[in-house]
């Protein structure tokens, strides 16, 4: 549908969503990738697959269509990133800015800030819903995509979903398929939101509690890079769901010292408020496949985390962005699942991870 409201010859968003749901569920329920793609956690390995931004290796990230495909491809959890609009509605967007994944510059050319960026929090939900989501482009470009082999740029209309729409989709599919797939939301840059007059944790927790995700047994992991804010979420906001402390390469959050956090003592502290960690996988093995160079700071990171009863869910496994020591994403996933003994992985390609877990460590 074009911006004037007339129907074009292109497939509209709702029709495309229906098509993708049908395709995804056909793959997921009747077998895909050469096998029956049952939920990975149902295998004997008891390790999980996290659909990173949905199935963004195949469809534009953080769209209902991408989530539908991740569901059908067998992900155990489907990851989302939460930001707030000007009127306080939690929407799904990886960045607090919307430059590189939407047509905001075309629709609202005069709404950028002095730094040249367009921010989610400067737009109302009705304005956000007018945007079309597309494959991620390079910073400062509207034509150069980050991953050229993925979904064609601007070839279909996808909307920005709200947190509630994402949850309703997953819960609806759980009911219609009989599965129990979980959600994995991330609170994006709490300090930025606070500085702009909104508290992202309070808003997000209200929605999560509305849909029954605030118990230790809920199929929900709540994640954030900001340790001081996560402690607040656990102790002052009373969050009871599983919490994951994300770990970055740089201390880009207030009070964060990720190098210290990855020590045995640091992990012991994380265990007082969180249930696991989400490091970059090169903090476990560097780009050459060893544990002696930065960004690896603790060669025993996984073992030490497990000692403190923390699960380890590294990010992000992509078949179009491989380190030097592997030739395929399956080989990379197998290495981390079975040799490094991580408990789950974030991946843009859930079907590959499901296949690796189904085959086990020997294949």
Model pLDDT for residues 228-244, shown as the tens digit of each residue: 999 999 999 999 999 99
Which of 264, 283, 280 is closest to 316 using CA atoms?
280
Bridge partners (DSSP) listed for residue 224: 245
pLDDT of residue 362: 81
Q: CA 286 to CA 300: how far, in whole Å?
A: 13
Distance CA 279, CA 298 (A): 12
**pLDDT at site 154:** 87
Query: Rounded distance, CA 44 to CA 42, Å?
Result: 7
Q: Considering only residues 26 and 203, tell me which one the structure prediction assigns the higher pLDDT.
A: 203
* C-alpha span between 176 and 258 (Å, rounded): 41
Q: Which two three-digit tokens encode residue 181?
A: 């797939």
Torsional sign, CA 14, 15, 16, 22 = positive
Q: Residue 116 class from Cβ within 10 Å (0-12 exposed, 13-18 middle, 19+ buried)?
A: exposed
Lowest mean pLDDT among 3-12, 158-167, 290-299, 344-353: 3-12
Distance in Å from the first CA to the final CA of the chain: 47
Write the burial class of residue 135 (CB in 10 Å: 0-12 exposed, 13-18 middle, 19+ buried). Answer: buried
**Which residues are marked as active site?**
52, 94
11 pLDDT band (50/70/90 cuts)?
A: very low
76 contact partners, CB below 8 Å, separation of at least 6:
39, 40, 41, 48, 49, 50, 181, 182, 344
- Residue 20, pLDDT above cutoff 70: no
Q: Give the separation between CA 29 and CA 72, rounded to whole angstroms.
A: 7
CA dist 325 and 344 (Å) reads 20
pLDDT at position 252: 65
Mean pLDDT of 114-130: 97
């Amino acid at each position: 549908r074009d911006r004037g409201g007339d129907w074009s010859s292109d497939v509209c968003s709702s029709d495309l969503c229906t098509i993708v749901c049908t395709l995804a569920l056909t793959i997921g329920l009747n077998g895909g990738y050469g096998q029956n793609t049952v939920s990975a956690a149902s295998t004997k390995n008891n390790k999980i697959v996290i659909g990173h931004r949905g199935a963004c290796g195949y469809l534009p990230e953080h769209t209902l269509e991408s989530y539908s495909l991740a569901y059908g491809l067998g992900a155990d959890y489907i990851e989302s990133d939460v930001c707030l609009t000007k009127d306080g509605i939690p929407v799904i967007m990886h960045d607090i800015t919307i430059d590189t994944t939407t047509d905001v510059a075309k629709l609202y050319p005069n709404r950028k800030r002095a730094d040249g960026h367009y921010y989610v929090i400067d737009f109302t939900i009705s304005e956000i819903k007018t945007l079309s989501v597309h494959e991620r482009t390079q910073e400062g470009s509207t034509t150069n995509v980050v991953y050229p082999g993925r979904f064609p740029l601007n070839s279909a209309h996808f909307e920005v979903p709200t947190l509630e729409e994402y949850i309703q989709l997953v819960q609806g599919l759980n009911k219609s398929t009989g599965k129990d797939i979980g959600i994995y939301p991330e609170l994006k840059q709490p300090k930025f939101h606070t500085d702009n007059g909104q508290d992202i944790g309070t808003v997000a927790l209200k929605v999560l509690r509305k849909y029954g995700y605030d118990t230790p047994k809920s199929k929900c992991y709540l994640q954030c890079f900001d340790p001081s804010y996560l402690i607040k979420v656990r102790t002052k906001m009373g969050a009871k769901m599983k919490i994951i402390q994300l770990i970055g390469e740089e201390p880009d959050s207030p009070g964060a010292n990720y190098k210290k956090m990855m020590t045995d003592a640091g992990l012991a502290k994380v265990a007082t408020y969180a249930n696991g960690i989400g490091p970059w996988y090169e903090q476990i093995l560097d780009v050459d496949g060893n544990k002696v160079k930065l960004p690896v700071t603790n060669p025993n990171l996984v073992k030490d985390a497990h000692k403190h009863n923390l699960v380890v869910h590294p990010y992000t496994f992509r078949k179009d962005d491989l380190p030097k020591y592997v030739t395929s994403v399956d080989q990379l996933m197998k290495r981390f699942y079975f040799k490094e003994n991580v408990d789950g992985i974030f991946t843009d390609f859930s079907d590959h991870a499901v296949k690796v877990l189904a085959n086990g460590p020997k294949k």
